[in-house]
Amino acid sequence: MILLGILLAGLGLAMIVARDFMWSLTEMGNSFAGRQSERTELWEAGQILSAIVLLLVGVGVICASINQSQEAARQDADATVMTIETVDRLEAVFAESLDEWQTLERRQVVQVQPSTLGIRADGIFYGRCLSNDFFLFVLNFEESYRDFAYAPERSPDFCKPDSVILSIENSYGGGWYEIFTVAPTHAFITRTPVPTPTATVTRTPAPPRTPTATPPRGIR
């Protein structure tokens, strides 16, 4: 947008300073169109008026572009500061727990209730991935409403539960990442189906039969 403003302002300035050159261009255009050219006061006035309009529009576009760039830079700076503060908050919350959680040795996923740590989040999951590296995921964390991951050994896009799909938005050092997950919360926990027990039929043995006495023949 700034380049467009410069072009418009430059054209307007040329129409004022180099009017003879602009007339030569007009004359050339009329010649190709088969029209006669006459440099009148009306043409001079039109040149000046057009030049002023182009100058004003060009300067306006340049100023608007600069203001927009400054506002975008300010918003990016504010967002960066807010995210760094969020990461500092995460580090403070999980500092003590991480030492204990990283003693986990085998590949599995453990879910932690956010209320036990005194924070608000949709889910907290930690464990070890296929490469046996540690990971921690915090979903929809407090007022940031964003997802974060702690993966000190391998980036979370390579160390995560198998059913989770994510992308890394930013890396903040120290193993902390801002991520975007497209998998539901329950996808972090892989549940092994429990086999349905087979019903066992218990047979009760029949009581022994008592032989029936047969009366001797001839006796009725």
pLDDT in tens, 145-189: 889 999 998 888 888 877 788 888 888 888 899 998 876 556 676
Cross-sheet strand order for the sheet of 123-128: 109-112, 123-128, 134-141, 146-150, 176-181, 166-171
Residue of 172 and 66 predicted with greater confidence: 172
E strand intervals along 50-144: 109-112, 123-128, 134-141
| Per-residue model confidence as pLDDT tens digits over 100-155 | 898 887 878 888 999 888 888 888 999 998 888 999 999 988 777 889 999 998 88
Q: Any idea of the CA torsion for 150, 156, 161, 165, to the nearest 10 degrees? A: 120
Question: Is pTM beyond 0.75 here?
Answer: no
Count of residues for the chain? 220
Strand partners, 168: 179
